[in-house]
Structure 1
Amino acid sequence: MRDLALAPPAAALLTGGLADSVFETATRSPALPVLARRSGPDSSVWEEVTAVEFRDQVVDVAKGLIASGISPGERVAILARTRYEWTVLSYALWTVGAEVVPIYPTSSRDQVEWILRDAGCVAVVVEDEQSVMTVGSVCASLPALRHVWQLDAGALDDLVARGEFIPHPTVDSMRRIVLPDSTAAVAYTSGTSGRAMGCALSHRSLASPCDTLLAGWGHTAAPPGEQGAVLAFLPFSHVYGLMVQGLCVRGGLLMGHEPATSEEALSSALHSFRPTYFYAVPSVFEKIYKNFLRTAQCEGRGALFERAADTARDFAAATERRRLGRGSGPGFDLRLQHALFERTVYRRLRAALGGRVRRATSGGSPLSRDLSLFYEGIGIYVHDGYGLTETSGGLTMQPLGREKSGTVGQPLPGSEVRVADDGEILVRGPSVFQGYVGDEDATQRVLHGGWLATGDLGYLDDEGYLAITGRKKDIIITSGGKSVAPAALEQRLRMHPLVHQAVVVGDNRPCVGALITLDPDFLTHWRAGLALQGEAPVREAREENALREEVARAVAAANSAVSRSESIRVFRVLPEPFDVAGGLLTPSMKLRRDEIVRTYAFEIDAMYEARSRRRPPPPPDDPAGWDDSDNVFLR
């Protein structure tokens, strides 16, 4: 068993609740802008909210909550996108000692009912009329639910009006009795393999990673002398989004809210808000890269972009070797090429993120090393971190000046990581959750002597950097007994611009297979670039052949990173992507593997049967009969 523990916490210990930082900042720097919101739905103008204005609004809403009978320890759900009101409401609830229960706005009726009932929520804040109808349809099974407040119908103004008679000292006295170990939020897991479970997170556990990151890395959020600015677009209903909110409020960073998740909305917000630091998940970084490539190809500069991308990765890899003491850094020719592309390509790429971002953080799942090197090479280092809902967000970070792409860094000061003999990652520290709400048995299954069994697989290298290789429950065991972790293969498949999603299968099968969906935007662009001639049937047949060959190249590229027995030998391209509405993705966009396998059971069977019909089955201990990847498309 390998373990690693770093220095004691670098930040001061929490003495109260999360809301205290709102009041402390307002007292210390009342005129400091801390929040920003658009002046209109499609406006490019952002109106800033000062620390004292934010505090006063939190107090006014807290009064309304008290007048509505919300008591300390009671749970209130927020079913809304990432918007200004979410932040005001959460800190108002923490001010009165209530517990926040985040719910994804894309959740189904059954998911909403389950969370509201399981958590015993006494109130729920929704965004629009559709959400009101969803909650209304399940109210009969929720006897504890007393209030449904709708943001788009003026819920905050109504609460402020309701609480006008509540004296200010009442709010202050309630805030002061909130203890660090009081539960602040009940955040539900993604539910990738069953019912979502509510993780009880204390004020201390939510504050701890934020304060540690701010103490050790906060100065990287902006150039010296400038206030850091962060565009919050990740859902606050996910612990990663909650951590971003906490970092901004506790660190005095200017936070703008972008509720829309479309590429157009995010691009517009980045250009107008111009953040200095960027938080996202790997799929966003992958999509941005593909958009860079597609735009370059549309402008007839595809070959130039690919040379620039290769140079960026080479430059970053050489720079990494130097900072890790393994080389002298980029040579003269590489520096010259990089400087040329800086003037002609890299500046334009950074401008797509607003032009001020120099560092970023990726979380939610591992970021590929190639992608990390690409962003570092164009001038935006992406820290790849690691954490779970059960650890209140971030648990590791890249040490400054010793960053290593392809890993998730090292444990935060005060936290510990251990890798068990079977490869499972065990963690311990102040951010670990209090337990699963209403499920003591499940809590005891994952907590052992203060150590949390994460269910993730990985290893610590010789320098103490943690690398994630997959989920323990996702391991595939072929009929020949070969164990395969699907995450690395899926990650490499998604690096191809045409591939949108990938699910590796193969349990009790003679070889590894994959279900693949295509990126609709890049597919349209790719088809336009073919410029095939001839009659429609002939043109369509040529297009399908070309597409089959392109996807086969993506599979071959993914296979190049694994052994022969772990490589993908059969695959199918599905006509539709996996989505939340169809139940194949969680609200946090993670794959529901078991459900995908059940839904496409017929297609998976046909994929393997078609392969078997074309050649005799190989001996059980010899995969040679499965030598070439299948390339069947579903229509």
Structure 2
Amino acid sequence: MTQTTVEKLPYQSIPQMLQVNAEQYADRPAISFKKSGAYITLNYQQFYSRILMTARGLRKAGMQPGDRVAIFSENRAGWVIADIGIQSAQGVSVPIYATNTGVQAAYVINHSGSKIVFVSDRLQYEKLLAVRDQIPQVEMVISFERFLGERNLPVHTLYQLSEISYPIQEKEKQQIEKQIELIKPEDLITVIYTSGTTGIPKGVMLTQHNMANNAWDGIQLAGKESMTGTFLSFLPLSHVLERTAGYYAVLMGGGHIAFAEEVNKVVENILEVKPTAMISVPRLFEKIYSRIYENVHLMSPAKRQLFHNAITVGHAYIYQKYIKREPLGLLGLKYKIYDRLVFRKIRTRFGGNLQFFISGGAPLDKTINEFMWIIGIPVFEGYGLTETSPAIALNSLDENRFGSVGKPLGDAKFKLSEDGELLVKGSAVMRGYYQDEKATAEAFVNGWFKTGDIAHIDDEGYVYIVDRKKEIIVTAGGKNIAPQPMENTLKLDKYVSQAYIHGDKKPYLIAILTPNLERLIEFGHEKHINYLSVDDLVANERVQQLFAERIEHFNKTLPPYQTIKKFILLPREFSTEGGELTPTMKLKRKEIYNTYKDKIELLYRHNGEGQSAQPQSENGGKNEAN
């Protein structure tokens, strides 16, 4: 990524951008998706034709300018065809997370007033069918896959809507392009309902200018040449990060989007697609880091030493080259040798072509970020919210500080409130919350949007996020503690997969941990532990003692008020299906607390000051740490 001269956005809207690029990059691959075991590719002209057909079908179905149309689907090619098709017919797309229940989907559909709903497959359709009486205004369901629907909720396929057998005629093309010309920058492009860690979802109103300008700012920072490769898309398109950075920006830059089959097949698809870039959330990098170090653990002593030597040299190299900006000399030669012996082999596991990742959605641990740069796949950490389209800060190859979220992007301006909350102004900031004037008014102070994050800004202009304002723990002793940095550090432990820290208005902190099961099972074999299930294994006294020791080691570098006194070890990971994570893998703290409330409160029955960590397994059996 290289800084380029800032140019003014040359488009009025996303559909107009695609219209221009369909001519400029007509034969260049636009999107690829897997069908019957093989990837099918549409070039820009073919992709644009599919968009026009969808817009034609929507208008024939009675959709009017300004109508909201919902998309209830996981990440796939049909999603983007539906989205730009809706916009080209002067509609407003309303994404619904594929992991949502029927009741949750009904809320979004009703609140937005959507009469037409796109679904990916029968699974999503059946969720709607189960709440049919709650969504009486829905007139049409359009599926990306073929199946039979029920009489009280008819379903049509995207092919049927688009009349795929009847190519767009020149007269029809001109009619739709006249509609596209009428789309103004201030028109709504979407209403995105925040997944939220607490409370009822709010509909974030984003305009064409918000999202198109945000995508354009990203291209300006990245450099146009960075956007012309292949991006592997796997995050939910319902989330604004993937939509703006991994979809609009890629098409705007003339790049190619290849859609992963599903999240569980991302590693396999990386090797097939050999992408040049990807958008991700920190959870992927945590797993990459953990898996590589697990493999190192199994190497011979000589190979392990080679790896650790390479990391040491690599750490010095990235700081001298990218932070200090000093000549490399002998250090550059050493890094080249280790790159050939170690890092290049790691990169081949990611297809061999990956030039960079963009990370957002949650904080990325500094150690993991440095590691990715060391192995030669830089991760550009950024920051934003659904309400800011999303990116308002981003690191780059030319300007990067590990641990920060970068400098303000585009025309974003920052300032801090008296209590340290980050406030922002700029073209990326939303119009407001749909049908919620009160929430909109509460979100701003004197024209500045309140991000809800506590931050600090250094002398060079780099922004550092401390934690969510609402998630700052204030202990009974009045100490303010940011849990996210502590949780991220805990996750670096080879035996820990996820961590949640609790202690607001309490005398001390406790943690809920989920184990790295591969490492834990390995530990069980090494110690000859007999167990019937994972539940038995995590409840075993030796396992509980192991985690007590890991926490004791973690506590050594912390002041007494910030140490973890007790913990609960779960036999499974937090998940979106379990309700503990948002679709972008952020902890739903309120849900986690409610789920494990009895066990958490049990750990506070006795004051823990001066005690060492005392574990409790999920089944309630307490095991003393010492």
User: How far apart are the structure 2 equivalents of 1:360 and 1:313?
Assistant: 22
Report what 1:72 is aligned to.
Answer: 65
Please name the residue that 1:408 is paired with: 405
Aligned with residue 552 of structure 1, among 548, 554, 571: 548
1:140 & 1:466 partners in 2: Cα distance? Answer: 48
Q: Structure 1 residues 139 and 276, CA, compared in 2 at 3 Å: closer, same or farther?
A: same
Q: How many angstroms apart in 2 are the aligned matches of 1:87 and 1:23?
A: 15
Is residue 182 of structure 2 the alignment partner of residue 183 of structure 1? no
Q: What is the Cα deviation at residue 139 of structure 1?
A: 2.8
Q: Which moved more, 1:169-178 or 1:139-148?
A: 139-148
CA, structure 1 residues 301+405, in 2 after alignment: closer, same or farther (shift >3 Å)? Answer: farther
Q: Relative to structure 1, is the Cα distance of residues 573 and 220 closer, same or farther in structure 2, using a 3 angstrom cutoff?
A: farther
Kept after mapping to 1: 8 A contact 2:472/2:482: yes
Aligned counterpart, 1:36 = 32
Please identify, of 456-465 and 230-239, the stretch whose mean Cα deviation from structure 2 is larger. 456-465
Aligned to 2:215: 210
Unpaired segments ≥5 residues, structure 1: 1-6
Superposed CA offset, 1:73-96 (max 9, x none) = 101111111111111111111111
Query: Would the aligned equivalents of 2:4 and 2:220 in 1 still touch at CA under 8 Å?
Result: no
Tell me: CA distance 1:75–1:444, structure 2 relative to 1, closer, same or farther (3 Å): same
Which stretch of the first structure deviates more once superposed, 494-503 or 49-58? 494-503
Deviations, residues 402-451 of structure 1 (Å, cap 9, x unaligned) = 31111110001211111222111111110111111111100111123331
Higher relative contact order (CA 8 A, sep 6+): 1
1:580 is matched with which residue: 570, 576, 582? 576
What residue is the counterpart of 1:133 in the other structure? 126
Partner of 1:270: 270
Q: Which amino acid aligns with 1:187?
A: I
Q: Which position in structure 2 is the counterpart of 1:3?
A: none
Q: Secondary structure at the match of 2:14?
A: coil
Give the partner amino acid of 1:96: A
Moved more, 231-240 or 445-454: 445-454
- Retained in 2: the 8 A contact 1:124–1:148? yes
SS in 2 for 1:157: helix
Alignment of 1:2-21 (within 5 A): 10-13=6-9, 15-21=11-17
What does residue 259 of structure 2 align with?
257
Residue 149 of structure 2 corresponds to: none
Counterpart in 2 of 1:466? Answer: 463
Q: 2:105 aligns with which of 104, 112, 125?
A: 112
Match of 2:585 in 1: 589
Letter in 2 for 1:49: L
Taking the aligned partners of 1:181 and 1:519, their CA distance within structure 2 comes to 48
Counterpart in the other structure of 1:57:
50
Supply the AA of the counterpart residue of 1:285. Answer: F
Counterparts of 1:131-530 in structure 2 under 5 Å?
131-153=124-146, 155-161=157-163, 167-219=172-224, 221=226, 227-243=228-244, 244-262=246-264, 265-298=265-298, 300-301=299-300, 304-305=303-304, 308=307, 311-312=310-311, 315-321=314-320, 323-325=322-324, 332=330, 338-528=335-525, 530=526
Per the alignment, do residues 199 and 533 of structure 1 end up closer, same or farther by CA in structure 2, a change over 3 Å counting?
A: closer
Cα deviation 1:539-587 (Å, max 9, x = unaligned): x899945533443354345445643322222211123332223322223
Q: Does the C-alpha gap of structure 1 residues 385 and 456 become closer, same or farther in structure 2, counting only changes over 3 Å?
A: same
Q: In structure 1, how many angstroms separate the alpha carbons of the residues matched to 2:289 and 2:258?
A: 23
Q: TM-score by structure 2 length? A: 0.90
Q: Which amino acid aligns with 2:240?
A: V
* Contact persistence 1:81–1:259 (CA under 8 A): no
> How far 1:282 moved relative to its partner?
0.3
Partner SS for 1:105: coil
Which residue identity does 2:574 align to in structure 1?
F
- Residue 167 of structure 1 aligns to a residue whose secondary structure is helix
Provide the rounded CA distance (Å) in 2 between the counterparts of 1:535 and 1:362. Answer: 39
**Alignment length (residue pairs):** 602
Aligned partner of residue 427 in structure 2, secondary structure: coil
Deviation at 1:185, TM superposition (A): 0.7
Does the aligned pair in 2 maintain the 1:65–1:163 contact within 8 Å?
A: no
Counterpart-to-counterpart distance in 2, 1:534 and 1:505: 32
1:534 and 1:515 map into 2 onto residues whose CA distance is 24
What is the percentage of aligned positions where both structures have the same residue?
Answer: 28
Question: What one-letter code is carried by the residue in structure 2 that aligns with 1:294?
Answer: E
1:220 and 1:60 map into 2 onto residues whose CA distance is 31
2:613 is matched with: 629
What SS class does the counterpart of residue 459 from structure 1 fall into? strand
- Summarize deviations over 1:334-379 as a string: whole Å, max 9, x none: 6666444323321121112111112111111111110111111111
Could you say if the C-alpha distance between residues 343 and 220 of structure 1 is closer, same or farther in structure 2, counting changes exceeding 3 Å? same
* 1:19 partner SS: helix
Deviation per residue, 1:144-199 (Å, 9 max, x gap)? 32111111117221012299598222211111101011000111112211111110
- SS for the counterpart of 2:603 is helix
SS at match of 2:403: coil
CA distance in structure 2 between the partners assigned to 1:303 and 1:338 by the alignment: 18
One-letter amino acid matched to 2:173 = H
Describe the shift of the 1:267–1:322 C-alpha distance in structure 2 as closer, same or farther (beyond 3 A): closer
Alpha-carbon shift at residue 319 of structure 1 (Å)? 3.0
2:151 matched residue in structure 1: none
| Residues 166-175 or 408-417, more deviating | 166-175
Residues 79-126 of structure 1 show CA distances to partners (whole Å, capped at 9, x for unaligned) of 111111111111111111111111111101221111111111111111
Letter in 2 for 1:172: E
Aligned-residue offset at 1:516: 0.9
Amino acid at match of 2:78: E
Aligned alpha-carbon RMSD (Å): 2.8
Q: How far apart, CA to CA, are the structure 2 residues paired with 1:253 and 1:558?
A: 44
Q: Secondary structure at the match of 1:69?
A: coil
User: What is the distance in 2 between the residues matched to 1:534 and 1:441?
Assistant: 58
- When residues 304 and 336 of structure 1 are mapped into structure 2, their CA distance, relative to the original with a 3 A threshold, is farther
| 8 Å Cα contact 2:310-2:342 kept in structure 1 | no
User: What amino acid is the match of 1:190?
Assistant: S
C-alpha deviation, 1:460, in angstroms: 0.5
Q: Which amino acid aligns with 2:73?
A: A
Note if contact 1:383-1:398 (Cα within 8 Å) is conserved in structure 2.
yes
Show the counterpart of 2:153: none
Cα distance between partner residues in 2 of 1:542 and 1:456: 35
Deviation at 1:536, TM superposition (A): 9.6
**Contact 1:32/1:51 (CA < 8 Å) preserved in 2?**
yes
Matched letter for residue 251 of structure 1: G
Q: Distance in 2 between matches of 1:542 and 1:586?
A: 25
CA distance in 2, matches of 1:459, 1:533: 48
How far did residue 307 of structure 1 move? 5.9
Aligned counterparts of 2:247 and 2:557: Cα–Cα separation in 1:
37
Distance 2:412 2:538 in 1: 56
